[in-house]
Chain A
Amino acid sequence: MPSLGDVQPQSMHFAEPLGLASGAVLRDYTLAYETYGTLNAAKSNAVLVCHALNASHHVAGTYVGKEKSEGWWDNLVGPGKPLDTDRFFVIGVNNPGSCFGSTGPTHPNPDPAANGRTYGSDFPVVTVEDWVDAQARLVTALGIERLAAVIGGSLGGMQALDWSLRYPGRLVQCIAIATAPNLSAQNIAFNEVARRAIVTDPEFHGGHYAEHGVIPRRGLRVARMIGHITYLSDDAMEAKFGRDLANAAFGYSTQEIEFQIEAYLRHQGDKFSEYFDANTYLLITRALDYFDPARTHAGDLTATFARARCRFQLVSFTTDWRFAPARSREIVKALVDNRLDVSYAEIAAPHGHDAFLLDDPRYHGVLRACFANLAKDLA
């Protein structure tokens, strides 16, 4: 499948303050974004792609001279791909609080009292709702009133769902993959372990590690390791690593790598700690914890979705135990109760939560059909 080829990150500055759910205000901010394909004359073919925990606005294509810089959803987005850039104008945006270009904890705090200090842990807590508001401003600034679709997986799916509630008239189709109406206690627990790993790292320095010229690398590594375990299914891990040893025989050590799975997790942790910001990890996991649109409707998801107007596509994966199919079915029920158009595919993929980033032909077939129908309606 051909790729988009070289793409260019862009950024847009917003001088108008963004009021946040917490009551805090982001007084001015920049959003990093990328676009692929061409916006049609009617400005009706735009699709917004929302990212999950560790991704960014770089959804597809590569950066000039960087061979291995493929976007995180390159298997889905591109010419002739399920989200076809020959038909759609695709927008990837980096959320505020992230560490890939949009205003976040690694940037200077504009508050005069901060004396030019880096935000660090003083960056305000942001929610899914705040992100959706920021995204909506970008969409408006690009001259688009109504999106053809908003799509996302996992935390990105939560943003897609929130679009349907916060801006019900501004999207035709919501595509929410491997997501949930809120996190379970077990899910919050995993996030909390990750956060504690970071915060208790001696090099965290209350979140102002940049001023000390250090990174709480150990904490980030452990956070990523635990996260990674939850993104894979037991079967997938068994198939990939089983009880394979790193060396020919047991080393009878307690701290050296003995099993392949340990080497894999340590490698993932090391890699992650090289490019991801610790404060961003804290913020994004918290946004996940907080997301619960039914909370203001006494937990009634049906009442919550009464305001939604768009049509919905939901997808879950049978081996995803972090965002299990039952959670997607809760959303489907709320949509059906409101007589909204919804299709739901439950894909028997073995890969766990990570399946949403892979290209299972059933999964991509469903998305391809969904976008083809959308393109037909736009024509």
Chain B
Amino acid sequence: MSDRTDIELIAELVPKGSRVLDLGCGNGELLALLSRERGCSGYGIEIDDANVLACHQRGVNVIQLNLEDGLALFEDQSFDVVLQLDTLQHLRNTERMLRETARVGRVGVVSFPNFAHWPNRLHVAAGRMPVTRVLPYQWYDTPNIRVGTYADFEVLARKDGLAILDAFGIQAGKVVRTWPNLLASVAVFKFQRG
């Protein structure tokens, strides 16, 4: 779902040599990139059979698990960075997952589609749910069961005692730091336990 450039932008948030846990790692592309170019190690978590196979074929460490079952497999603060990219919006238990991310990782990085991006606002103002490049689904078939905004996440982070270390939007492969809630289709937050 993330573009290649999105992945590269997010990879820059991960310090070289980090021990990484990638929740919802998809086909393992980011983990492979982090290992190849930033000397990182770690594991991906994935539920989908085809993605699990793709990770194996890439030679990326992958553990097939349902994130809804929590992260009991992982000890507190056992990873430098826990990534949760384009995953949060698919999970029923969003808050628990965020807390788990902050428990297992010294740093958490989350990205998700920003529902408040201005074209989405126009869709809603016109009376229809948005269907865009980042949110390509109809309201009745979307896997995005949690629809939130950049600004919403800031509120949730505060509520759950997460300290935001960095935050920005991504739009068309570029970092957006000015009015990201309005101007970016993807929200990115880097945080730690407060």
- What residues make up the interface of A, taking CB atoms closer than 8 Å to B? 329, 332-333, 336-337, 339, 341-348, 362, 365-366, 369-370, 372-373, 376
Contact = CB atoms under 8 A, between A and B. Distances in A.
Nearest to A348: B49
Nearest to B64: A346
Interface string B63-103: 11100000001110010000000000000000000000000
22 contacts: A329-B65, A332-B73, A333-B74, A336-B74, A342-B43, A342-B61, A342-B63, A343-B55, A343-B56, A343-B62, A343-B63, A344-B62, A345-B62, A362-B53, A366-B52, A366-B53, A366-B56, A369-B56, A369-B59, A370-B56, A373-B56, A373-B59
B178 interface: no
A372 B64 CA distance: 20
Interface of B: 19, 41, 43, 49, 52-53, 55-57, 59-65, 73-75, 78
A345 B59 contact: no
A369 B53 contact: yes
Contacts of A376: 59
Nearest to A365: B53
B28 to A, nearest CB: 10
A343 B61 contact: yes
B19 A339 contact: yes
B19 A344 contact: no
B53 A329 contact: no
Nearest to B47: A346
Nearest to B60: A343
A333 B62 contact: no
A228 B113 CA distance: 50
A341 B53 contact: no
A11 B19 CA distance: 47
B49 A362 contact: yes
Contacts of A369: 53, 56-57, 59
B37 to A, nearest CB: 19
Contacts of A370: 56
Contacts of A337: 75, 78
Closest 5 CB pairs of A and B: A369-B56, A346-B64, A369-B57, A344-B63, A373-B59
A372 B57 CA distance: 8
A342 B44 CA distance: 10
Contacts of A333: 73-74
Contacts of A345: 52, 56, 62, 64
A336 B52 contact: no
Contacts of B73: 329, 332-333, 336
Contacts of A329: 65, 73
A249 B53 CA distance: 48
A365 B52 CA distance: 10
